[in-house]
Structures are given as C-alpha cells and as structure tokens.
Amino acid sequence: MSNHNEAADGNLCCSGADPVVRIKRARKGLPDFVQSVNLKYVKLGYHHLMSHFLTLCLLPLIAITLLQASQMNYQDFQTLYLQLQLNLITVLLATAIMVFGSTVYIMTRPRSVYLVDYACYRPPHHLQVKFNKFMDHSRLTGDFDESSLEFQRKILERSGLGVETYLPEAMHCVPPRPSMSTAREEAEQVMFGALENLFKSTNVKPKDIGILVVNCSLFNPTPSLSAMIVNRYGLRGNIQSFNLGGMGCSAGVIGIDLAKDMLQVHRNTYAVVVSTENITQNWYFGNKKSMLIPNCLFRVGCAATLLSNKASEKRRAKYKLVHVVRTHKGAQDTAFRCVYQEQDDHGKTGVSLSKDLMAIAGGALKTNITTLGPLVLPISEQLLFFVTLAARKLCNDAKIRPYIPDFKLAFDHFCIHAGGRGVIDELEKNLQLSPIHVEASRMTLHRFGNTSSSSIWYELAYTEAKGRMKKGHRVWQIAFGSGFKCNSAVWQALRNVKPSPNSPWQDCVDRYPVEMAN
C-alpha cells in the first residue's frame, strides 16, 4: 500500500504536469478498495436520501405552517374559533367519519402473529456419525458396490458436513433396522424432545394449545404424527390439528403460513408448529448415484415453534411475523420431478435428485423474490430496479445488466435452508451476500447436517447464540422443497433476543465459526 501512495505523491509533485493529468495519475495509484468504499458510501447516502425523501419534503411545509401559526395574534385565533362554531355540524360529521373509519380499520386489519419461543431438538451424543464410521457402516451392509462407496465418500468430503451430525438409532445397527416401529421411535424421540423443551421454556400448558401443525415429508403413518402428539400430551378435543406430508424441506414455512391463517380466525390462542423429517424408513440401499446423495446429507433434527395472536404475549415474544411468500413451480414437469421419490431398477425406494436441481431452485428463487422484493426493499432499491428494467425494455439492449436489489438493506440476518453446500454457495453469489450473512447456514450444515424443514430454526438459534439478534432486526428465512417450492418467512425482533434455554448450540457455539475446507 505504501508503494501505491508514494507513486501517487510523486505524480502529484511533478513540476510542469497538467493538473488534470496529475489527478488521473493519482487515481491510478489509489488502491481498488478505496474506490469501492467510496461507491459503497455513495450508495448508502442515496439509500438514506430516498428512504427519508417524504420526510425531507414535509419539513419545509411544517416549518412554514409553524411560522404562520407563530405570527397569528389573539384576534386571529378568536376568528378561527368562531368559524368552527358556525360549522359545528360539519366538524362533528367529519369527526364521526374519522372515528368510524378508524374503528373499521382496527377491527378488520390482520391480527399480529407473535413467535413466543421455539426449541430445536439436540440428539444424544451416541447418535453422532463420524465419516469413517459412516463409510464402514455402509460397507458392512453389503448393499453398495465399490463405485457407490467411493461416490458417497466424495459427497461427504465436499458436502460441508462435519463429523458431529446425527443419524437415528436404527441406522447405527448392523444391519440397519428400518421398520415402522423404529421409524415411530425416531419420530417420537425428536418431536417429543423438541416439545418438552418448548413447554418448559414458555410455561405454556399443552391444554392451552388451540392449533397444531406438524410437517414431515416422507413418513406419514396412521394415526398421523399430529395425532401422536395429541395422544402424548392430552391436547384438548376441539384442537385444530393438521398433518402436512410430502412437501419437502420448505414445509416449515408452509406450516408457519397455515398457523398464521388459523390465528386470523381463532382469537386469543396458541399455535404450535412442529417441523421434522424421518430418516429411518427412507434410507436408500441401492446404487443409483442420484438417489445416494440424500443418504450423505440428511440428518436427525426437529424444531417446535410456539405462535400466538394474544396481545399480552407481545411483551415476552421474541419475534413478530411480518411476511410469508410462497412460490410453487410444480406446473413445470422438470421442476415437479427434480426431487422425486421413486424405485430404482431393482425395486429399491429412494429420493432422486435431478442434475437440474440448482437451475430450478434459482428460477424458483427469482420468482419468490420478485414477489417479496416490493414488500421489504426500501424505495431506493425499488427505483434502481425499475429504472434498469425500463432501460432494458426501451433500449432493447441485452448488454444492460439487470439490477440485483441489495437485500442486505432490507434484512439484518439470513437463514438459508442448509440443504447442501451448493445451495448456500449459489444464494451467497446470486444475492451478493458476505460470508457473515451465510455463516449461520454453513455452520448449521456443518454441525447438524441437512435437517430438512427444521434447518432454518437451527440457523436462527445460531444467530441468537452468537448474541447478534437486536431489537428491530429483520430475519429472512428461505427454504426450498420438492414440488418444486421456494418459500420465505420474514420476522422482526421485538427485543434483544437471547438464546432459548437448552439451545442446540449452548455447549459448542464458542467453537464456531470453523474453517471450511475448499
């Protein structure tokens, strides 16, 4: 850096040089980051100007009004009072209309939905699966040929997963014991474990729950998972219970959206949303490469969230739900089949991932943020996007690059579904995020693996455990799922949020972030 500065000083001090030439030479000597910092502050200034444009326009009007009022004498005020008396009926009618309109607005506006608290399940230590244990176990089952074993080894090395993720009890046995009973055991272990923590931390009694939503994509027994919870905790007979199946990793946001809609109808109650996935009965024992990837990525996890529309809960709630935006691309055949449960040529069932998955996810994301953007982006970003779009249309010039809105101006934290390293990489690149914005997603993938629909809650718990969640901060949870779907939920922190009791990160957050291998 000193060399650059010396060169710049030398150019400026050259006698006889034209001033414009000297300035140009000096600019060439400036480091690139200085110019980028200048552009950053120019954009930040523009953002603040547009965000407070209306206020800046109103200030002169307010000043003129106050000036005129200060120049009025007692006689002027008396004249104004007499005019109001003469038009008493008009004044009363206008007041009545305003009161009536305000009452209708208050009665018909959507009820606020508060996230009181949530809990993430932390499996016991003995269910951890090291890479070498995973490979040895796969080899001992005798179901995989050498090519498939080598493929799984490479996926594990490049996946972004660490060596402390968890698999269910049945998959630690040799041979594995995938049965209906062991799958039920896994479901009960994770769901009841998360719910016990939730009820303990919130002091809410199970009988107070009016709405229950459970989502699990691949395991749907009879009676349902929601019925298992009703039976275990003795929930009341008129509870509004829902069980969502086959909706993939984005079903957690769908569950939140369903609970939100139910809370608009049922007054002064609580809603519990349980998001999980079941691995025991959905392990693939064949050799088709596209169906082996889920074995390497998916791990045990579950999250239970407590929502309420009670005004009294705002005082202790962590977040307020601001927006939910859901995008479904299932009308397209390629999108519909890109995550597909099927049998291979030997009759073994698994979930196949298409090679077009990332491209389809990108298209779904684009559609989703097209809807979400106008709801959350400041007017400065919306204007830039509109001007660029208009220029491309009017000039019909493909060289004009489309403007990518800066979502960092709308959100303070990002919880990107930890579906895999490639998913996080793509969103970091396409949304122009910095490493700290995707830290929660990468560390959740490393520590817990892909826990399907519950992963966005492990990520939120990481942000809280790091002490980064402050009052007023906005969080964007975004998840992808089979179908193909891209769903977003936006939350706003109501206070400086501390980690929930029994946080899954409470004994390990000091070790993170860890260095990720390339």
Residues whose CB is less than 8 angstroms from the CB of residue 342 and which lie 6 or more positions away in sequence, other chains included: 349, 350, 352
What would the pLDDT profile of 296-320 be if each residue is shown by its tens digit? 999 999 999 999 999 999 999 999 9
Give catalytic status of residue 47 as yes or no.
Answer: no
Q: Which of 282, 338, 417, 486 does the annotation list as catalytic?
A: 417
Give catalytic status of residue 4 as yes or no.
Answer: no
Written as six digits, the tokens of 210 are: 């009016």
The tokens 């389809």 sit on which residue? 360
Amino acid (1-letter code) at residue 495: R
Q: Which of 47, 172, 266, 328 does the annotation list as catalytic?
A: 328
Closest to 253 measured CA to CA, from 225, 213, 219: 213
Give catalytic status of residue 52 as yes or no.
Answer: no
Measuring CA to CA, how many Å separate 510 from each of 416, 450, 462? 21, 21, 11
Residues whose CB is less than 8 angstroms from the CB of residue 430 and which lie 6 or more positions away in sequence, other chains included: 362, 365, 404
Written as six digits, the tokens of 200 are: 């303990």
Q: Which of 215, 287, 450, 487 does the annotation list as catalytic?
A: 450
What would the pLDDT profile of 176-235 be if each residue is shown by its tens digit? 999 999 999 999 999 999 999 999 999 999 999 999 999 999 999 999 999 999 999 999
Q: Which of 446, 473, 486, 487 does the annotation list as catalytic?
A: 446
Give catalytic status of residue 446 as yes or no.
Answer: yes
pLDDT of 12 reads: 35
What would the pLDDT profile of 376-389 be if each residue is shown by its tens digit? 988 878 888 777 77
- Distance from C-alpha of 311 to C-alpha of 454, rounded to nearest angstrom: 27
Q: Identify whether 134 is preceded by a cis peptide bond (ω within 30 of 0).
A: no
Q: Which residue has the higher pLDDT, 372 or 403?
A: 372
Give catalytic status of residue 328 as yes or no.
Answer: yes
Q: Which of 11, 197, 243, 249 does the annotation list as catalytic?
A: 249
Percent of the chain, pLDDT > 90? 67
Give catalytic status of residue 126 as yes or no.
Answer: no
What would the pLDDT profile of 445-500 be if each residue is shown by its tens digit? 999 999 999 999 999 999 999 999 999 999 999 999 998 999 999 999 999 999 98
Q: Which of 413, 415, 473, 486 does the annotation list as catalytic?
A: 413
Element at 342 (helix H, strand E):
strand 339-343
- Identify the band that residue 405 occupies on the pLDDT scale cut at 50, 70 and 90: confident
pLDDT at 5 over 50: no
The tokens 């927006």 sit on which residue? 323
Kindly state the average pLDDT of the residues 63-74. 69
pLDDT of 511 reads: 94
Of 70-74, 200-204, 287-291, the one with minimum mean pLDDT is 70-74
CB 252 within 8 A of CB 240: no
Kindly state the average pLDDT of the residues 78-95. 73
pLDDT at 54 over 70: no
What would the pLDDT profile of 331-364 be if each residue is shown by its tens digit? 999 999 999 999 999 999 999 999 999 999 999 9
- Distance from C-alpha of 455 to C-alpha of 417, rounded to nearest angstrom: 6
pLDDT at 330 over 80: yes
> What count of Cα atoms within 13 Å lies in the side-chain half-sphere of residue 128?
13
Closest to 476 measured CA to CA, from 372, 333, 382: 372
pLDDT of 262 reads: 97
pLDDT of 49 reads: 54
Written as six digits, the tokens of 257 are: 């959206």
Architecture of domain 114-511: 3-Layer(aba) Sandwich (3.40)
Written as six digits, the tokens of 517 are: 């291998």
What would the pLDDT profile of 505-515 be if each residue is shown by its tens digit? 999 999 999 98
pTM (predicted TM-score): 0.82
How does the average pLDDT of the chain come out, rounded? 86
- Distance from C-alpha of 5 to C-alpha of 13, rounded to nearest angstrom: 12
Of 62-66, 231-235, 408-412, the one with minimum mean pLDDT is 62-66
